[in-house]
Structure 1
Amino acid sequence: MTNAEINGLDDSTMISETEERIHERVLSIGDDMKLPVSVRFISFILGAAVLLPWNALIIAIDYLTSRVKGSPFHSAFASYLSLSFLVANFFFLAHATFAPNRMASARVIRLTLCAIAVLNLLLALTTFITLPPTLFFLFAILNGIAQAAAGSYNQCSLIAVISLLGPTAIQPLFSGQAAVGVLFSLVQILTSTAGVTTNESGDTNSKAAARSAFLFFGISTLFILFSIFMHARLVDTTEYRTIVVPFEKKPAIVSLEEERQALVGSNGYSDSPNSKPRMLHVIKKNARYNFAVAYVFVATLAVFPAITSFIRSVQYPPTTLFTHPLLFTALHFLMFNLGDLIGRYLPLIPLFQVWDSYTLLSLSLSRTIFIPLFLACNFQAPSSPPGPPEANVIIGSDFIFFLIMLLFGASNGYLSTLVMMAVPSPQRNPWLRHNPKDIEISATIAQFCLIGGLAFGSFLSFGVTAFVCSCNPFTT
């Protein structure tokens, strides 16, 4: 035997032993693994950082819209902003998910968070700078697209890392996202209450909106900087060094073996982590999970908020502060986000733990029932002036509407978290028990399907709105 052959055997043995050790670590991540509270808290913070910038844009929409007044984009600015952000998020996430080569996750997360912090700081500074309406429109749209791009790469790398730390790290990640929604819903109620109870001039309202926007974007910037610090703490933890770091280094070793032997894996697809055959193989094996998490958000975005935000109180004229259309709409956002947050904690209770892919898919599809339930409430077309409920309203109770809204949000958070906890878990996903090297890919593909569901549901909402109100949703 030649020295080259001996060296080849030594390298092969080293690769095999390295993979075996990594797989043992990954397979040890089960339901009984108790991550330190500090790691779960960091996951919560990083999850909140994912959605905080977008929520800041939405909560400051009055300010942003006021800055484009006088341009041809003023009346539909919110639609332009949300659509451009959503489309950019989808396509950049697709690239981040299926790109053949990736940077180390820690570096991607750090760089993208820095970029998002700078972009939010720029938005905060616009409250002190006067720009022509059309120029501000271009700036706001490009800023949103840039945030969507940075957020896409951040989400892809973050879910890949957190999935390796196990289900007990995934749950707080998604709970952090929901917590941001609750926080901003409370802020929305406070600002809406102020708008209903005061009668200020247009100039005063404009200045108040600018002050609020500076506060929102400033807090968002500071929180992103805090999340960068917390990510640095995560990278320094024992769990990260013993599980994530060896797993991320493994593909480079495998690629060296592939280059030497020019072989493919025993399953008939390349072991290269982002090869097209391997990605397609993982998509096929996790098809039910992927479709389930996508449809959760298709059903949600098809009616929320496109339809639900035009459901009015059956009390007309308003009898209390919260039956006023502005407050009623803000309260319905709070009910959804509260339900969403509660739902994301339910998987921690053994009674509510469901991991079978067929059952999860069935539960996801069953959420379609919420669409006719909302249409049975006091929906009033966007072009219609406020008025008493129509005679054909079936659900004539505000309490029942808010209860449906709460259950709608709870089922959204519950099922999406269940699926995202199950997909990358060898203990919950039977296929991964024999393919632990595909944990990271399984998680990133499921995350892409989640965003895909958001995108498709948003486009579907235009059709649902057109059907319900017999109007053109692009102009009304």
Structure 2
Amino acid sequence: MNTPSEENGIPARMEGKRIANFVCWLLGMGSLMSWNSMLTIGDYYYKVFPDYHPSRVLTLVYQPFALGCMSFLAYYEARVDTRKRNIFGYTLFAVSTLGCIILDLATSGKGGVGPYVGICLLVGAFGVADAHVQGGMVGDLSFMLPEFMQSFFAGVAASGALTSGLRLITKVAFDKSPNGLRKGAILFLAISTAIEFLCVLLYALYFPKLPIVKYFRAKAATEGSKTVTADLAAAGIHNVDATAKIEDRLSTKQLFYKKWDFFLDLFLIYVLTLSIFPGFLYENTGKHSLGEWYALVLIAMYNVLDLIGRYTPLIDVLRLESRKGLATAILARFVFVPAFYFTAKYASEGWMIMLVGLLGLTNGHLTVCVMTEAPKGFKGPEQNAVGNLLVLFLLGGIFSGVCLDWLWIIGNGSF
């Protein structure tokens, strides 16, 4: 098959654009649904494991697996079958989330070192799945329409908003029943498991067959991409004529030098965000009139505003395209560090809720701006590589932020 002609290819590729956007949104939701579920039921794990700092420890366990696996995949991205990579990742998410339910049922919701180690191992599996899915999907979408990337990351944020909303509902529903917190958490994990299995089916059976997706993958194949071969075959497209060789593409090192500021931008966004969210919100905001609802409200506010922020770049006047403008806005966010410190120490709940909302809004907006701008100006194989590097630096920022988050509790007797 040759690349579709300009006359025939353009109308053909637009077919299925809206449904492809929606599927990207669902796949984005599935890429973080399991992990957001673990974060959102943090109140349950704090009850079961009160001495083990669950929100901080589980996040710290998750990130080395995600970052280590992503480093390997980013290095070999040109040789990794994207189809197998993404299906494996979504399947691992589903199986690991189901494993959390089985572990809780097997231990009858009891605490202790053994069950905690088991949860940590499952969280490590989440990290491996995350590296497969986020790197694979972002690399894949980098050579398609920017709207697909925006929809994917809106779905990522939607997983947080959905889990927060469901958590509040289940907490209300089971608040008065025996073991209500545990019942709500199990129901929560069951919903997440179902969504992950749905993503497996969507990616494996439906997404590759959408005309617009087939168009862009065929185009990437003619430019030398080998990562799309299996997905094209699944869509019934064989023998794509490659007009470029993979050896003709820029090296990963060259790509890094050309776009280094975008990678640093993404790193800094998540260093700041994860140094505050979620550990600080669970453990460093003190006691307030909202009681045990306070942390849940803060998490929900962050997630909802993060979701809104991932749609604001669709408004032309708000979208940041200037590299200097992005860098300035991202560096300005570091004023959140003293702002959170003094708000937690001196201000009321309302100010903290507003501040958390701003943290989420800026996180979502700047993430989408960077992710949609960075891949521009390259061919398919290079855009796939840029996408993988972006996720690598995103995960690197998360890991660094998680480590820095521990500084909030040094010297306050929490160890």
Question: Normalised by the size of structure 2, how large is the TM-score?
Answer: 0.84
SS of 1:325's partner is coil
Deviations 1:231-259 (A, max 9, x none): 12110111222211452572459xxxxxx
SS of 2:343's partner is coil
Bigger Rg, which one: 1
**Structure 1 position 450, deviation (Å):** 1.0
2:321·2:369 contact (CA, 8 Å) conserved in 1? Answer: yes
| Aligned partner (choices 415, 427, 449) of residue 393 of structure 2 | 449
2:225·2:381 contact (CA, 8 Å) conserved in 1? Answer: no
Q: Give the whole-Å Cα distance in 1 for the aligned partners of 2:138 and 2:226.
A: 20
Q: Give the whole-Å Cα distance in 1 for the aligned partners of 2:169 and 2:256.
A: 44
**Structure 1 position 75, deviation (Å):** 3.1
Deviations 1:156-180 (A, max 9, x none): 1111111222211001101111111
Q: Give the whole-Å Cα distance in 2 for the aligned partners of 1:272 and 1:453.
A: 31
**Structure 1 position 459, deviation (Å):** 1.0
1:344-423 map, 5 Å: 344-379=310-345, 393=346, 396-423=347-374
Aligned twin of 1:57:
38
1:306·1:465 contact (CA, 8 Å) conserved in 2? Answer: no
Q: Give the whole-Å Cα distance in 1 for the aligned partners of 2:134 and 2:298.
A: 28
SS of 1:378's partner is helix
Aligned twin of 2:231:
none
Q: What's the Cα RMSD here?
A: 3.3
**Structure 1 position 88, deviation (Å):** 1.0
Q: Give the whole-Å Cα distance in 1 for the aligned partners of 2:281 and 2:226.
A: 49
Q: Give the direction of change, closer, same or farther, for the CA distance of 1:409–1:173 in structure 2 (3 Å limit).
A: same
Q: Give the whole-Å Cα distance in 1 for the aligned partners of 2:144 and 2:295.
A: 39
**Structure 1 position 397, deviation (Å):** 4.6
Q: Give the whole-Å Cα distance in 2 for the aligned partners of 1:134 and 1:355.
A: 49
Aligned twin of 1:221:
193
Aligned twin of 1:385:
none
| Aligned partner (choices 44, 49, 62) of residue 25 of structure 2 | 44
Deviations 1:410-462 (A, max 9, x none): 11100011100111123xxxxx3xx5541111111011111111111111122
**Structure 1 position 229, deviation (Å):** 2.1
Aligned twin of 1:471:
412
| Aligned partner (choices 273, 276, 282) of residue 255 of structure 2 | 282
Which residue identity is paired with 1:408? L
Aligned twin of 1:184:
163
Which residue identity is paired with 1:287? W
Q: Give the whole-Å Cα distance in 2 for the aligned partners of 1:210 and 1:174.
A: 30
Aligned twin of 2:107:
130
**Structure 1 position 286, deviation (Å):** 0.6
Aligned twin of 1:333:
299
1:52-451 map, 5 Å: 52-61=33-42, 63-64=44-45, 75-99=52-76, 102-130=79-107, 133-190=112-169, 204=178, 207-231=179-203, 232-248=205-221, 250-251=224-225, 271=247, 278-309=251-282, 310-312=284-286, 323-379=289-345, 393=346, 396-426=347-377, 432=378, 437-451=381-395
Q: Give the whole-Å Cα distance in 2 for the aligned partners of 1:308 and 1:213.
A: 19
**Structure 1 position 42, deviation (Å):** 0.4
Q: Give the whole-Å Cα distance in 1 for the aligned partners of 2:14 and 2:338.
A: 42
Q: Give the whole-Å Cα distance in 2 for the aligned partners of 1:272 and 1:215.
A: 51
**Structure 1 position 45, deviation (Å):** 0.3
2:55·2:278 contact (CA, 8 Å) conserved in 1? Answer: no
Q: Give the whole-Å Cα distance in 1 for the aligned partners of 2:156 and 2:148.
A: 13
**Structure 1 position 134, deviation (Å):** 3.8
Of structures 1 and 2, the one with the larger relative CO (CA 8 A, separation 6+) is: 2
| Aligned partner (choices 439, 462, 465) of residue 406 of structure 2 | 462
Q: Give the whole-Å Cα distance in 2 for the aligned partners of 1:246 and 1:341.
A: 31
Deviations 1:28-74 (A, max 9, x none): 89xx97962100000000000011111222234455566668xxxx5
Q: Note the residue ranges of structure 2 that are not aligned, 5 or more in a row.
A: 228-245
SS of 1:375's partner is helix
Q: Give the whole-Å Cα distance in 1 for the aligned partners of 2:70 and 2:100.
A: 23
Q: Give the whole-Å Cα distance in 1 for the aligned partners of 2:226 and 2:52.
A: 52
Q: Give the direction of change, closer, same or farther, for the CA distance of 1:311–1:141 in structure 2 (3 Å limit).
A: closer
Q: Give the direction of change, closer, same or farther, for the CA distance of 1:252–1:368 in structure 2 (3 Å limit).
A: closer
**Structure 1 position 303, deviation (Å):** 2.3
Deviations 1:248-303 (A, max 9, x none): 572459xxxxxxxxxxxxxxxx8376xxx811111111111111111111111222
Which residue identity is paired with 2:199? S
Deviations 1:316-363 (A, max 9, x none): xx6xxxx32322222222221121111100011111122121211111
**Structure 1 position 230, deviation (Å):** 1.8
